[in-house]
Amino acid sequence: MHATIQPVSVGWPTFQATVLRVTVVLVNRIGLDGSADVRWSLSSEQGGSFEGANTLQGLAYDAWGNDDEYLLRWLATPEVLNLTIVEIVPDAPPAPPAPEPTPEPAPVDVPTTVEEPV
């Protein structure tokens, strides 16, 4: 999953990033005072990337619940990266629907003939 974002100038030399990805999430502590280091990258379709990390903690950590989309939206907030998400995109296309089962043909009654002895 990744987010398409409004273009933003990043990196050196600068380029227009249009994609935000969460690359790694490392949970530091599990419990009431849990936190997670969230590594991310900004990239463009033409190549190049800019990477960084932020710590998810407090109420944001509590609200996360292991939801990838939440992490993308949290990273885009003005308090973190100040990005505008255009669309959340799954990395893999959804699986095609299962084909309809083909009904078995109905059994046909075939009359059996009994020949009488001659």
Q: How does pLDDT run across 98-107, given as a tens digit for each residue?
A: 677 777 777 7
Q: Say what the pTM is.
A: 0.72
pLDDT per position in the chain (118 positions), as tens? Answer: 899 999 999 877 778 999 999 999 988 866 567 888 999 999 987 778 899 999 998 899 889 987 889 999 999 999 999 999 999 998 766 566 667 777 777 777 666 666 676 6
Q: What is the pLDDT of residues 30-42, one digit of tens each?
A: 656 788 899 999 9
Closest C-alpha to 44, from 21, 20, 8, 19: 19
Buried/exposed 52-82: b ≥16 CB within 10 Å, e otherwise: eebebbeebbeebeeeeeebbebbbeeebbe
CA dihedral 5, 8, 11, 13 (to 10 degrees): 130
Please give the pLDDT value at position 48.
Answer: 81
